[in-house]
Amino acid sequence: MEAGISTTSTGMEQAVPELDTSFSRLAAGDVEALAGVYDACAARLYALALWRTGSAEDAADVVQEVFVRLARAGEGLARVRRPLAYLLRMTHNVAVSTLRGRREHRDVDTLLVADPGAGAEARFAARQAAAQLAKLPPKLREAVYLRHFEGLSYREIGDVTGVPTFTAASRYRLALARLRRMMGVSR
């Protein structure tokens, strides 16, 4: 895992100050700070894990494993410059390992849900979009998720997924092009 993940002026650079403070305390050996790290970012890590695994149970297991690893990391955390990027990358890696271990693929149709307060038309559109998104290969779906739901730049997506910036951007653009074709939308 890369400790010095860099960011641009989008997504990860806007990290919650509480995360940076708690992470620094944790890196200095203050085990109590783990709770602050959890409070600051567990929901984001869970969302990524849910998106990646397609299972609420697996996502919870992934987040638990991330925090177990984090608690064991010790002094090595002092080298981490971008805590949120580090944690997203760790979550990505654990989720991928979980899927490989289970050797199964799950649908994402339950993951893209319209606001429960939205009208029937919006919920229907969300289900249609989710069905089309589910047809994309996992790497393309992940690029869409990280761009739209996490607000990451292409460089940040590359950092999280371990690919060059150009590859991250290509995956995203390819995903959008395929979605447009599947939905019959001309550009």
Span 80-131, pLDDT tens digits: 888 998 999 999 989 988 877 665 344 443 444 445 556 677 667 767 777 7
Give the integer Cα–Cα distance in Å for 53 and 37: 22
Q: Which of 15-29, 39-53, 59-73, 104-118 has the lowest mean pLDDT?
A: 104-118
- Say what the pLDDT of residue 150 is: 76
Q: What is the dihedral of CA 133, 135, 140, 145, to 10 degrees?
A: 30
Number of other residues whose CB lies within 10 A of the CB of residue 19? 19
Residue 5: is its pLDDT beyond 60? no
Secondary structure of residue 92 in the 3-state scheme: helix
Tokens 């700070």 sit at which residue?
Answer: 33
Indicate yes or no: pTM above 0.75: no
Give the integer Cα–Cα distance in Å for 159 and 2: 8
* pLDDT confidence band for 63 (50 / 70 / 90): very high
Give the CB-side neighbour count of residue 160, counting CA atoms within 13 A: 32
What are the structural domains, with CATH classification, of the chain? 11-106+137-183 (1.10.1740.10)
* pLDDT confidence band for 41 (50 / 70 / 90): very high
Q: How far is CA 124 from CA 47, 55, 112, 120, 144, in A?
A: 22, 22, 11, 6, 20
The residue with greater pLDDT, 1 or 94, is: 94
Mean pLDDT taken over the chain: 79
Cα Rg, the chain, nearest whole Å: 17
